[in-house]
Amino acid sequence: LPVWPVWQGVILFFAGKLLGETVAAEWEDRIGGRVCPNFFSSSSVVTDTIYGGTSPFVLLVHHRHAFMNWDPLRFLQKSFFPEGFPSHPHRGFVTVTYCLSGGMLHRDSMGIKQAYGAEQRHGGNHVQWLNTGSGMQHEEMWDVFEPDEKDEGSLLQTSSQELYQIWLNVPSSQKMTSPKAHLLQKYGVKDESDKLPPPYSTPIITECGVTTTVVCGDHNGIRAPWDIPTDAAILRVELTKGATWEHSMPASHKTAIIYVKSGFIEIEGDRIAPHHTAYLTQDGQTLTVRACDDSADILLLSGAPILEPVYSQGSMVMNSKSEIQKAYQDYQSGYMGVPWDYKLTDEEWQEHIKRYPSMY
């Protein structure tokens, strides 16, 4: 979908039609202008061995955008289309927002403000783990580099933004817990003996031409050091040309999905192109991925299916249609707070949430 900026996204759309999606993917990686949503199936598990869907994953979105200070169309679009996501409600799942470049500015109905991303100003806090629990509202606006009036050269700079957002389902027993927001910090693993990263960190392992970032879960014995409500792993893997990556998959992880951000990869003789999503079947416990023609950058989502019905609608993920209806009734009744204008200053926003507090 073309957005931020729309005109570049339109160029990429026609490039895909005329020159092929591989060329469009390469251009997008350079200039931005699109968002790619993967809406996964929300089918229920039939038995513990036969299941339909991609549980525990509900959604994967890949954003790649560019905000240019010299672009007059950007400021026209900005007048009616906000640069980000103004306040909106959630209940019943976890959002994982993983910044690859740029960053986000977060404010919520719990009174929490966070800035996180991949730039130096974010201090290594590149992932937000948001357990929406019983209900909350938040806004996520792009942390766009603003020009310095004293530096004329800054007017020509581009604020590059790229991230993944994953919606991770949780068991019914965890859906009505208190909402929580945590920032996760990069941690470079030094050697094989370094298997105890600090709390709320994402271990990063580099070996044999491959860099693996463990956002959650485990990679070959190195585990993200914090408890999560779902048996799942989210791993980013960056491979140099010709490099091979091996991952020991837990037997419980009957779901395994790979999204290829850039480059071509090969799995068991199957070649997968950039901007394609591969759904893997369980056959043994070792996953082997090879980068083909050039370097490659992929995201692996794996997990144990939650053996419960799941119903997803809008911004809520529950176990039945009636629970979804109840979630929206609670939101409309103000139990999750009242939406605020994203243009409010921090002081005005604080006053607003004090006046209209969330009940959760």
Q: Which two tokens stand for residue 284?
A: 């043994």
Work out the burial of residue 233: count CB atoms within 10 Å of its CB; fewer than 13 is exposed, 13-18 middle, 19 or more buried.
buried
Q: Is the pLDDT of residue 156 over 80?
A: no
Closest to 35 measured CA to CA, from 54, 56, 12, 15: 12
Ordered by start, the domain boundaries in the chain are 6-146+158-355
6-146+158-355: CATH topology is Jelly Rolls (2.60.120)
Q: How confident is the model at residue 16 (pLDDT cuts 50, 70, 90)?
A: very high
Closest to 115 measured CA to CA, from 93, 91, 139, 135: 139
Query: E-assigned strands of 49-157?
Result: 57-68, 84-90, 93-101, 103-108, 113-117, 125-131, 136-142
CA distance to 27, 228, 277, per residue, from 15 (Å): 9, 41, 20
β-sheet with 113-117: strand ranges across: 84-90, 136-142, 103-108, 113-117
How many percent of the chain have pLDDT more than 90?
81
Q: Is the pLDDT of residue 44 over 50?
A: no
Each residue's pLDDT tens digit, 171-221? 999 999 999 999 999 999 877 666 677 889 999 999 999 999 999 999 999
Q: Is the pLDDT of residue 52 over 80?
A: no
For position 322, what pLDDT does the model report? 97
Each residue's pLDDT tens digit, 290-328? 999 899 999 999 999 999 999 999 999 999 999 999 999
Mean pLDDT, rounded, for 25-31: 92
* CA angle (97 as vertex; 303, 272 as ends), nearest 5: 60
